[in-house]
A = this chain, B = another copy of it.
Amino acid sequence: MEARIPTVDEVPSADVTPKLAPEYVLELVRNARSASTRMASLSTTIKDRALMAMADGLVAKADDILAANERDLDAFGSSKEKQAMADRLRLTPERIEAMAAGIREIVGLVDPVGQTLNMRRRPNGMQVGRVRVPIGVIGIIYESRPNVTADSAALCLKSGNVCVLRGGSEAIHSNTAIAAILSDASEQAGVPPGSITFIDRTERDVVAELLKQDQYIDLIIPRGGESLMKTVTEQSRIPVIKHDKGVCHVYIDADADVAMATSIAVNAKVQRPSTCNAMETLLVHQNSARPVLPELVNALVAAGVEVRGCAKTVSLCPEAKPAAEDDYGREFLSLTLAVKVVKSVDEAMEHIARYGSRHTEAIVTKDYGRAMRFLREVDAGAVLVNASTRLNDGNQFGLGAEIGISTTRIHARGPMGLEELTCSKFVVFGSGQIRE
């Protein structure tokens, strides 16, 4: 029980910290590792029972979570420029209900562990196949909303992985409270202690220590801003799957359907502008500029979007402001949009290759050839024809709930669901075969 998550009131304050960061981290990750063997062979029944208990626990102890969240909000402050962030940090009874609902949804997903893939009989008579197994211990370093704590713990548990969670310091009390409830509930349902390990200290050197533990952690998933990505890239000895930024484009081709182009572009920008798969730059073929842009920019401005366009865009749309060069390739994560008129699909694809972050790219077109070229030649985790970039999502793509959208090319590229939280081992059913 050494790895038990302390309750909020037990969190040591900085000046009575009893252990140095290396010692503290080592104890936690060793516990996590030793939980991972039992965790890997836990039955789906026990895992699902634990998930239900975790969801129930969050709802039953909502008041504790709200009190902890109040402490975070007080510490965070409420100046005007912090309002958007404070709103993301804020928990309400409804948001806690939504967290619990998210966990219950994972109960309904198929357990990937033990699935056998491509079993085949080889010429020498042996049967060879791959079996999905948990990755092991997954370290998740995040800066986002407190619900990431619940989502990550639940997805890791269902896929048989032990998680080591390290949230942002601004949400430390909320995350500590949530993790303690999840950990207690899961242990009571039979999950080994340490399976949901939460790092309750916020010093920077704790992350540095964590990134050295390649003996105990199998994978690091960082979710956050540029500085976190840089730290992890430079320091991690553990394999990393990044959830990095999305500079996503929608390209409206020549002769595109005006209504479809407008609908997709508005959705890609406005439906939830703070997400990594929201559109940041709109590219419009010059033949579509006049038929599409004035009405589209109107609709965007009506939805609260600040449009920054190239000279041509500004000349067609009086509401648009002139774009600066560095507006292209920028991840606004807000209701600001860069717009550029281009001469051809080639110029659009060159722009995307130069400024995009290889996350999500979409074309709106009626032309078969250009649709196929765009799909084939654009290098991104997801490439869409006649659909909104916002659809690049685990649920929308049919993978179920996701832990995020990977921007790493290997292992899992794009939405990362339960299957992507597993790896495989080869199994061989032989009858005495040897190598000739």
A residues lining the B interface (CB < 8 Å): 37, 40-41, 120, 122, 124, 126, 128, 131, 133, 135-136, 214, 218-219, 233-234, 237, 239-241, 257, 260, 263-264, 267-268, 271-272, 353, 375-377, 379-388, 390-393, 396-398, 408-411, 413-415, 423-435
Contacts and interface: CB of A to CB of B under 8 A. Distances in A.
Main secondary structure of the interface of A (DSSP, over half): mixed
A299 to B, nearest CB: 13
A382 B237 contact: no
A323 B96 CA distance: 60
A300 to B, nearest CB: 14
Contact of A426 (B131, B353, B392): B392
A423 B435 contact: no
B423 A385 contact: no
17 contacts: A122-B396, A122-B398, A126-B387, A239-B410, A263-B432, A268-B434, A382-B425, A382-B427, A383-B426, A384-B430, A385-B430, A387-B434, A397-B426, A410-B423, A413-B425, A414-B424, A414-B425
Contacts of A387: 126, 428, 430-434
A383 B432 CA distance: 14
Q: Lowest 6 CB-CB distances: which A-B pairs, in order? A: A387-B430, A267-B434, A390-B435, A384-B428, A411-B411, A382-B426
A322 to B, nearest CB: 29
Given A239-B408, A381-B426, A435 B271 contact: yes
Contacts of A128: 397-398
Contacts of A268: 434
A268 B430 CA distance: 14
A416 to B, nearest CB: 11
A124 B409 CA distance: 28
